Amino acid sequence: MAFLQQNFLLLCVVTFSSLLLQVSSRGPVYKPPTVEKVTDRFPRIPFTEGMSTLFGPTNVHFKSNGSYADIILDKTSGSGLISKNRYYHGFFSAAIKLPAGFTSGVVLAFYMSNADVFPHNHDEIDFELLGYAKRRQWVLQTNMYGNGSVKTGREEKVYLWFDPTQEFHQYTILWNNHHIVFLVDNIPIREVIHNQAISPAYPSKPMSLYATIWDASEWATSGGKYPVDYKYAPFVGSLGELEIVGCLMPKTNSPNATANASASCVKNATVSSLDPVDGEEYARLSKQQKVGLNWVRSKHMYYSYCKDTKRYKVLPPECNAQ
């Protein structure tokens, strides 16, 4: 009996030690604050209704009648989806489960862009999930471009407070004339306030929504220091709970027509069917959301371009306005 008790105690110690190692490898684990579920305000639609295959068609798999989609990177190709329409302002969200295992060099992006219509003057709002290299955990990078300002990156990076490979988590972009808010599981992780300092680089033209997975070895791993290792392929990103609500743009590639339609959306922004996130409740963060934002930035953010004095001898003007 004593022998069994000793073995049981030893097993408990080993299990507990293993859990401690898992926690320590991911850094401290903090309980997230409670926030309102903004994603509950908008309907979910099938991916087959809202998006089309952009590239790598054999690596895009729709499931559950199109309610879910897998996008896959393997040795033959990456893959991606693009929204069937373009939008000016709006609410864009998807639940994502990331590939597990060794994922250095793998990037899954959920983002908005109009580079196809404005190749030299484009806008972009990015979630970029970067596969791990050294710390054995995924990193979340957010970024924003306006009017083609790709030479001035506005990146911020956070470590997630959960394992994004175990279950689905919601990644959300709210974009209107007041601010851009990046949310994870409804918790704001970044807010870009539309003020005079940021105005020249604030996204101002209609964009499509994208979800892609690709080999970013050269870009995401110090010039290829930790490239994608395809012996761990396929790398499968699973998507669900798609929400796309915004001011719908006409299907045209004419920049002039696009600009006129954008102006119409702004002029008629009081019409909820045109701009569903222009109401007072979307103009600023609530108290709960501010608490969530401060929690993320104090406990999980480890890089902001506004703190990078090595990169910028003179910081971008909006950094001094924050």
Residues carrying an active site annotation: 124, 128
| Cβ(241)–Cβ(154) below 8 Å | no
Give me the residues paired with residue 124 across strands: 113, 145
Give me the residues paired with residue 130 across strands: 107, 139
Give me the residues paired with residue 127 across strands: 110, 142
Amino acid at site 315:
L
**Beta strand ranges found along the chain (DSSP E):** 51-55, 60-63, 68-73, 79-83, 87-97, 106-113, 124-130, 139-145, 156-159, 169-175, 179-184, 187-193, 208-215, 235-248, 301-304
Residue 145 CA to chain centroid, in angstroms?
A: 14
Residue 245 CA to chain centroid, in angstroms?
A: 17
**Measured between alpha carbons, how far is residue 147 from residues 93, 113, 117, 121 in Å?**
23, 11, 12, 5
* Closest C-alpha to 147, from 214, 205, 84: 205
